[in-house]
Amino acid sequence: MTFDLTPEQDQLRDAVRALGRRYGHSYFVEKARAGEHTTELWAEAGRLGYLGVNIPTEYGGGGGGITELAIVCEELAAAGCPLLLLVVSPAIAATVLSRHGTEEQRKRHLPGLADGSQKIVFAITEPEAGSNFHRLGTVARRDGDGWLLNGRKCYISGVDEAGHVLVVARTEDSSTGKLKPALFLVPTDAVGLTRSKLDMEIVSPENQFLLYLDDVRVPADALLGESLDAGLPALFAGLNPERITVAAMGAGTGRYAIERASEYTATRKVWGGRSIGSHQGVSHPLAHAAVQVELARLMIQKAATLYDAGRDLEAGVAGNMAKYAAGEAAALAVDTAVQVLGGAGMTTEYGVATLLGAVRAGRIAPVSREMILNFVAQHVLGQDKSY
């Protein structure tokens, strides 16, 4: 067992940290407030190879794993730039394509995902079913040599920035008559696909959308994989990378908040010329938050290591635990940072209150803390299923 990064991973961490700090949180907030995207940061990260670290080298990627992508997610977040589309496009879409796409689909999409010139977003959540794919209402039916898709999706990130959306639908199994999940690569400009932006109380340059699919026709090769049998394993292939990279982004955000607060409290002097950080009522909450963030980072490292070793079942448990721990730690760190900064903590200038909405959402999405506790109770503690 080792807790040391490889020299290559160390170099990646240092390089991504330097890139993130050149842009910084003020850039992130300015883009969000202007209704713009972090186009420049994304493009530079792509040129430098950071967006494709987990994509096989034969498709233009770095040949690494989710461990490397988690480093990218964490370090950009630690610089004040938590990019949600890193989770959606490189972690989910690229992993699903790498593992279960056809060779033609991999050649068509992975190089663009690796260099940042292409983004693919992910659509599973629905207004009625949430993320319960057993109850998904979006249905794909054969139409000649193609497919017709009908349904609704909600909380779909970054549709306005992407060329394709990976839609989870249900198809009829001709042998059983039952519906089973399948994934489709749908162009975001497809006829019949419309979107409506959701106004969110989150300071972010990445937007959320409702999607409406009304007789959206796609060709046969839009079906991900060689057959319908690829649907279920492809769907699950994206879930562990999603949880691990969301957790990494949360841990990085927690580190950013603690660093900002620590710099302030070490130099701010009010009572008797001593820094406010010398008071335990200030330093202890910050130290407690730092401990929680570091514990989350350890679980993220474990989950990513298990996933990259192909131990999917164990990675599922660790990934869920990492997401839970990082969500709680990030929310605690940002809230604590606001508290110890006092009034300054609520200003845009000090750059911590701007993250309150995002870290609160991290306790809900992409899977809520309660569903993770259900998972752990059932699969780790051996309790009866509660839902």
Helix, strand, coil percentages (3-state) for the chain, rounded to 5, are: 55, 15, 30
Q: How far is residue 210's CA from residue 195's CA, in Å, rounded to a whole number?
A: 6
- pLDDT at position 43: 98
| 93 DSSP 8-state letter | I
Splitting the chain (387 residues) into consecutive groups of 10 residues, what average pLDDT does each group show?
A: 90 98 98 98 98 98 98 98 98 98 98 98 90 82 95 97 97 69 97 98 98 98 92 91 98 98 96 91 98 98 97 96 98 98 97 98 96 96 93
**Largest CA-CA distance found in the chain, in angstroms, rounded:** 81
Q: How far is residue 329's CA from residue 144's CA, in Å, rounded to a whole number?
A: 51
Residue from 370, 363, 371 nearest 326 by CA: 363
Q: DSSP string spanning 33-54?
A: HTT---HHHHHHHHHTT-TTTT
Distances (CA, A) of 354 to 251, 253, 328, 348, 365: 16, 11, 17, 7, 18
Q: How far is residue 375's CA from residue 356's CA, in Å, rounded to a whole number?
A: 27
Q: 91: which residues sit within 8 A by CB, 6+ positions away?
A: 54, 66, 69, 73, 238, 241, 242, 244, 245
Count the Cβ atoms, other than its own, within 10 Å of residue 283: 17
Residue from 238, 308, 330 nearest 9 by CA: 308
Q: Are 156 and 198 in contact (CB under 8 A)?
A: no
CA 77 to chain CA mean position, Å: 11
Pair of tokens at residue 282: 């200030």
Pair of tokens at residue 241: 């990378």
- pLDDT at position 134: 72
Residue from 199, 133, 183, 123 nearest 154 by CA: 123
Helices of type H across 268-368: 280-308, 312-341, 356-361
pTM: 0.96
Q: How far is residue 376's CA from residue 370's CA, in Å, rounded to a whole number?
A: 10
- pLDDT at position 177: 58
Backbone φ and ψ for 133, nearest 5 degrees, come out as -65, -15
Four-point Cα dihedral 254, 255, 260, 262, nearest 10: 110
Query: Strands 146-157 and 139-143, how do they pair?
Result: antiparallel
Backbone φ and ψ for 205, nearest 5 degrees, come out as -80, 0
Distances (CA, A) of 291 to 60, 334, 378: 38, 14, 28
Q: How far is residue 174's CA from residue 154's CA, in Å, rounded to a whole number?
A: 29
- pLDDT at position 172: 74
Backbone φ and ψ for 284, nearest 5 degrees, come out as -65, -45
DSSP SS3 for 310 = coil
Pair of tokens at residue 81: 């730039």
